[in-house]
Amino acid sequence: MSFNPEQKPLDASISAKPLQPDDSVRRKSDVEPYPVKFYPVPKERVWGGHDLKQMFAPRVRDEVPDGPIGEYWVLSGHPNGVSIVSNGPYRGYSLVELTEMFPSEYLGASMQPRFPLLIKFLEAADDLSVQVHPSDDMAQAVEGDYGKTEAWYVLECAPNGKVVYGHNFSSRAELKRAFETKRVTDYLRYQTIHPHDTVFVPSQTLHALLKGTKVIEVQQTSDVTYRVYDWDRVGTDGSPRELHVDKAADVLFTDRHEGAMVGAVASRNVTRPGLQASAGDTKVLVDCPYFTLYEWQMSAHSQAVLHRLGSVTPDILIVVDGTGTMTWGDDGEVPLVPGDTCLIPVSVDEVRIRSGASQDKAQHQGSTDFLRLLLARY
């Protein structure tokens, strides 16, 4: 299989003009857009665990499955797990409905007609499959979907923790031989990680989270994954999981590149406003064509204002550590606790954040008074 390098990427072929709302959507005419939180969507995975259930079980809309949970989708417009609002007048509405009712507010200048980013918390109690995601043009040609560039923010990892990142295959023929002779692991590259590291994983990068790792994942909205190796294990049904070696080889050996590694900032060709906060320490973790990811840390019992005037896309605020409260307008307010993800619509020009002030803090005894946040912007 071959791909035309001149083919127009799928994301670039879609206008950034907001979609028009569907007349069938249940819009409440007297309710203006406001910052929303969502019920997490748990996903059973053979490599998943049970630790994050303590954080997310009280917040899911339905019961958490008894099996190992590998992923909690905390913000998603993907049909495999659409987010449902958990606060305010639009509680019970889906993210899809919000973007149809208020396209300029909850979608803005998006590169996809659906919400373009998917946010997850991942728990790897076992090694993930060694895998690769296609670029946009490849995914469009083969799957009719988008590619997947992603970033991991490391929450926890084993001592001397590592991830699979890259490979030493010289050709697709060598990859096929390694697969047939069960020597794939001989060609894998590894990258050391630590808590609070950021790993940028562009599409076409061979990668895998390994046992004992928990991360926040920010990614393009896509669910296209090609597995190369699955550690010779069986899935939950007792059968080996499907591998996609031929498709993976097409991805790995078409315009092959090596991405940036831990703590790196990728180059991009789009302009986004910087994070303008009145207090706290901020830094850019990843800056790529699909999103910018910031870390924002506030000291104990401090206050800050996030200024958003002039934004053309909503902001995504993710709570990593600590507790707090976010307010906006005259009386809008939501508590902030670890695992929360808030979508701030375009029309909300500023939000005020106080650290260590959440009324829910008693439910999160492991929380600290300082507040560490991630902010994603596309």
Which residue in 372, 297, 377 sits closest to 338, CA to CA?
372
Provide the residue type at 31 as one letter: V
DSSP state of 119: E
What's the rounded Cα separation, in Å, for the pair 40 and 81?
9
DSSP state of 253: T
Chain centre to alpha carbon of residue 43? 14
Report how far apart, in Å, the C-alpha atoms of 80 and of each of 184, 222, 224 are: 30, 10, 11
Tokens of 55: 């954080």
DSSP state of 266: -
What's the rounded Cα separation, in Å, for the pair 191 and 200?
12
Give, to the nearest 10 degrees, the angle between helix 245-252 and helix 136-143: 150
What's the rounded Cα separation, in Å, for the pair 28 and 11?
31
Q: Pinpoint the alpha helices (H) of 35-135.
A: 53-56, 95-101
Report how far apart, in Å, the C-alpha atoms of 130 and of each of 135, 146, 243, 252 are: 17, 20, 10, 13
DSSP string computed for 169-226:
--SHHHHHHHHHTT-GGGGEEEEE--TT-EEEE-TT--EE--TTEEEEEEEES----E
Which residue in 257, 199, 224 sits closest to 10, CA to CA?
224
Which one of the listed residues 45, 114, 227, 377 is annotated catalytic? 227
Residue 227 annotated to the active site? yes
Catalytic residues: 227
